[in-house]
Amino acid sequence: MARQELARFLRDRRAGLRPQEAGLTTTGTVRRTPGLRREEVAALAHMSVDYYTRLEQARGPRPSPRILDALARALRLTPAERSHLFRLAGSNAPPGGNAVRRVRPHVARMLERLPETAAIVTDAAYGVVACNPLARALLGGDLAGGTTNLARHRFLGRSGMYESSSAEEFGHIVVARLRRAADRYPHDPRVTALLSELHAGSEEFRQIWRTRPVHAPGHRTKTLDHPEAGTLRLNCDVLLVPEDDQEVVLITADPGSPAVRALHRLAGQAT
């Protein structure tokens, strides 16, 4: 925990926030500085003035994520400032109350600039929230319909997507990510409903869930059986969209391989 930097950051943000911006009424009050007072920040964050004062003086204990969230709201921090606040306190900033299911415009535009790379965006619970035309042609299923969930496909087989050789490894990856989603979004009804459905419908899911797998996104290879293009050896790489807890999955093939020529043909058909 960087106490001095945290204290300085809190003082600076408090001094830069005008009472009107925080929803406070200042009629009839004489203020020596334009920013908020310590007691005002403490009241907005629902904590004692003494506790907040100790944080600003670098004398306080390590604040909990709940306290940090309250301070971020009280000080009207931007998402980047909120993440910085958590880092200074030695914590990872959890996302908001529910998993983000919208796609940022710049991410959606990036998918369209990858004509010979199949790309999909998945939310924290493995729902497909965006994809490009090649991904739809390569993977099958109703990717564009907004209802495909890769966890449901993997364990319940309800998507119509084509099968790949990495199913066993992917099962552990799915469960690791869903465990993180359960911790981060305990009150998200969609996440809760998905987990209930998977627990009820798949003994394999229940077994893997009990092992508490841990996985970090990275590079994988898999073999996909495509009804038109045949058996394709593909590379999967993941880019993170951390502010929304989403992943961009990029599917490519080795240069000069039969698979890359198949992707080229599918891309031509998909446009």
Residues 6 or more apart in contact with residue 192 via CB below 8 angstroms: 186
In tens, the pLDDT along 15-59 reads 888 887 877 776 556 667 678 889 999 999 999 999 999 999 999
DSSP code at position 161: B
> Is residue 244 in some structural domain?
yes
Domain boundary among 38, 53, 88: 88
E strands of 48-179, at which residues? 118-122, 128-131
> Is residue 95 in some structural domain?
no
> Is residue 159 in some structural domain?
yes
* Residue 11 domain boundaries: 3-88
Measured between alpha carbons, how far is 53 from 44 in angstroms, rounded to an integer?
14
Measured between alpha carbons, how far is 14 from 261 in angstroms, rounded to an integer?
58
Same domain, 29 and 84: yes
Domain count, the chain: 2
Same domain, 68 and 112: no
In tens, the pLDDT along 178-194 reads 998 888 888 899 999 99
Same domain, 73 and 203: no
> Is residue 56 in some structural domain?
yes
Domain boundary among 88, 123, 155: 88
Give the CATH number of the domain where residue 176 resides. Answer: 3.30.450.180
Residues 199, 213: contact at Cβ < 8 Å? no
In tens, the pLDDT along 65-109 reads 889 989 988 998 887 788 889 889 988 766 656 788 888 888 888
Same domain, 133 and 259: yes
With 0.85 as the threshold, say if the pTM is over it: no
